[in-house]
Amino acid sequence: MRDSPMRGAPRHEAQGHRVYSRSKHRTGSLCRFVRVMAKNVEICIAVAAYCYYKYLHIISTSKIKKPWKKRRWWVKSINRNRTREHMDRQLSELLMEPGGEFENFTRMPLADFEYLLNIVSPMISKKDTSMRQAITPKIRLAITLRYLATGDSFKSLHYLFKVSSEIISRIVPEVCAALNEALKDEIKMPSTTDEWIEIEKGFRDNFPHAIGAIDGKHVVIKCPDHTGSEYYNYKRTFSIVLLAVVDSKYRFIFCDIGSQGRISDGGILRNSVLWKNICENKMNFPPPCPLPGLNVDLPYVFLGDGAFALSENLMKPYPGDHKLNTPKRIFNETLSRSRVLSENTFGILTSRFRFFKKPIELMPEKVTQLTMTCVLLHNFLMKSSSSKNIYNPSGTLDKYDNGVFIEGAWRQEVPQNCAIRCVPHIARRSPISAAKIRDNFTEYFVNLRNK
């Protein structure tokens, strides 16, 4: 027979000792369990916090891709009869149509289309695969030019070219990048005194010593993700800014695209390479010289509006309303007749490339790229002898006739809610030296009118 745990002790004392031992053991186990759980809770909280902040980091730095969805078919039925012969035949039919249908389709004649095709083909060609034929460079270029010319959605172009909207969304930026590289020399800022004098000759009859009209426009876009108010402008829309200088032939000689819409014209100019080179005297402007009838040297200047600050190399109108035939009114009218060049240039750009007809639903980087393509194509077509009359027909431009302002046809072609819009005029205190230069120009124009 097994001995009792407490031999010789009373029965009730032995039972009490066993109960106490079990209770003490259970209490110790419970304490250990609580300590382990407390430690595990701390670990769980730390892991949860790490996961949460990691998730926030992913959200702020990149888009979370949707899970891949298995295709229901390899090629949609509407695209199955897409062949090179089919798409080439479409373009050939456009060429055969009377009335310039191809020119309306691409905003240029066949000769210029083929020239562009030759210089960009090596950059946009794709190889055939065992699965399908590659889309030819001709069709890629036609898709891109049609998109810029009309602003149609990728879905609409899908039905026209029988190319999926997903592929079109890749084709357009690729071709625009190739065009930007091939046409980059179409925008060239003068670098010598003789080149600046050549620009000045176009302004000399109306505003001598003017070497370009400077202007800025907001290019309205959809609200970019995770950018806050960076692109939010005074019109309560989201935009990037296009800052440009144009010559007397309605061509861009300087272009800065992509600054956030919250920055004013003046702020963009002060931060631009153009202004930096002006301040560092790297522009090689012709030296100041007197105008006929004046004994004071006047510098060569850009012509701007109230959005810019007056400076020694940038003239803008006197603020406020002024009575007829007063000196300030005469200066403002003279400057406005010259600055109409920049309005006309932007007007042609907007009316011919309907890509700007409404707010653009692309990311800022792509809008910047495509806007530069339109600017380069504008200069290319304005220089082309075969395209100039198609791209800029008679009656398109604003003009002054005996002091009366006559609107050009482009104003009827540009919708009110187009993507290119004016920037606000901001009152600024002018430097005394710049104000004196403006007064000297005013004196010259008053003397010229009184002769």
Same domain, 171 and 193: no
Task: Write out pLDDT tens, residues 202-249.
Answer: 999 999 999 999 988 888 888 877 677 778 777 778 888 888 999 999
pTM, two decimal places: 0.77
How would you write the chain as a 3-class SS string? Answer: CCCCCCCCCCHHHHHHHHHHHHHHHHHHHHHHHHHHHHHHHHHHHHHHHHHHHHHHHHHHHCCCCCCCCCCCCCCCHHHCCCCHHHHHHHHHHHHHCCCCHHHHHHCCCHHHHHHHHHHHHHHHCCCCCCCCCCCCHHHHHHHHHHHHHHCCCHHHHHHHHCCCHHHHHHHHHHHHHHHHHHCHHHCCCCCCHHHHHHHHHCCCCCCCCEEEEEEEEEEEECCCCCCCCCCECCCCCEEEEEEEEECCCCCEEEEEEEEECCCCHHHHHHCCHHHHHHHCCCCCCCCCECCCCCCCCECCEEECCCCCCCECCEECCCCCCCCCCCHHHHHHHHHHHHHHHHHHHHHHHHHHCHHHCCCECCCHHHHHHHHHHHHHHHHHHHHCCCCHHHHCCCCCCCEEECCEEECCCHHHHCCCCCCEEECCCCCCCCCHHHHHHHHHHHHHHHHHHHC
Backbone angles phi, psi at 150, to 5 degrees: -115, -25
% pLDDT > 70, the chain: 74
Task: Please indicate, yes or no, if residue 13 is contained in any of the structural domains.
Answer: no
Whether 126 and 226 share a structural domain: no
Q: What is the pLDDT of residues 413-422, one digit of tens each?
A: 776 667 666 6
What CA dihedral angle connects 311, 312, 315 and 320, to 10 degrees? 50
Task: Count how many domains the chain has.
Answer: 2
| CA 194 to chain centroid | 32
229 and 316 assigned to the same domain: yes
Q: For residue 326, what pLDDT band results from cuts at 50, 70 and 90?
A: very high
pLDDT at 325 over 80: yes
Two tokens at 169? 């969304």
383 residue type, one letter: K
Q: Give the residue from 230, 235, 241 showing the smallest Cα distance to 270.
A: 241
One domain for residues 362 and 419: yes
Residue 55's CB is within 10 A of a number of other CB atoms, namely 11
Same domain, 287 and 240: yes
Beta bridge partners of 242: 217, 257
Tokens of 434: 């710049």
Q: 92 or 113, which is more confident?
A: 113
- Domain boundary among the residues 182, 205, 231 is at 182
Band (302; pLDDT cuts 50, 70, 90): very high
Token pair, residue 368, equals 């910047």
Could you tell me the two tokens for 36? 């382990």
Average pLDDT over residues 367-395: 88
Burial class for 308, CB neighbours closer than 10 Å (0-12, 13-18, 19+): buried
The reply to whether 227 falls in a domain is yes
Distance CA 214, CA 253 (A): 10
Pairing assessment for the beta strands 210-221 and 420-422 based on DSSP bridges: antiparallel
**According to the model, what pLDDT value does residue 2 have?**
47
The domain boundary, picked from 182, 208, 240, lies at 182
In a domain? residue 60: no
The answer as to whether 19 is a domain residue is no
Residue 443 lies in a domain: yes
Pick the residue with more confidence: 195 or 425?
Answer: 195
**Are 172 and 219 in the same domain?**
no
| Residue 204 lies inside a defined structural domain of this protein | yes
Query: 131 pLDDT exceeds 90?
Result: no
Alpha carbon distance 439, 441 (integer Å): 5
What are 308's two structure tokens? 């810019």
| In a domain? residue 176 | yes
The answer to whether residues 134 and 126 touch, using CB atoms and an 8 Å cutoff, is: yes
CA atoms within 13 A on the CB side of 52: 6
What confidence tier does 81 reach under pLDDT thresholds 50, 70, 90?
Answer: low
Segments forming the whole domain that contains residue 205: 188-450
Q: Is the pLDDT of residue 140 over 90?
A: yes
Same structural domain, 106 and 231: no
Confidence of residue 327 (pLDDT cuts 50, 70, 90): very high
Of all residues in the chain, the percent with pLDDT exceeding 90 is 33
- Report the alpha-carbon distance of residue 337 to residue 342 in Å, rounded: 10
Question: What pLDDT, on the 0 to 100 scale, is given for residue 23?
Answer: 52
User: What is the chain's Cα-based Rg?
Assistant: 35
Same domain, 386 and 265: yes
Beta strand pairing status for 404-406 and 420-422?
A: unpaired
- Residues of 210-247 as b/e, b for ≥16 C-beta within 10 angstroms? bbbbbbbbbbbbeebeeeeeebbbeeebbbbbbbbbbb
299 shares a domain with 157? no
Q: State both tokens at 18.
A: 């066993």
Tell me the pairing of strands 399-401 and 314-315: unpaired
Check whether residue 173 and residue 195 sit in a common domain: no
In this predicted model, which residue has the larger pLDDT, 188 or 423? 188
Same domain, 340 and 414: yes
Distance, CA of 163 to CA of 147 (rounded, Å)? 13
261, 158: one domain = no
Residue 332 lies in a domain: yes
pLDDT at 1 over 50: no
Structure tokens at 93: 């039919």
Average pLDDT over residues 65-87: 55
Give CA–CA dist 179/177, Å, rounded. 5
Read off the pLDDT band of 378 (50, 70, 90): very high
- The last residue of one of the domains, among 159, 182, 205, is 182
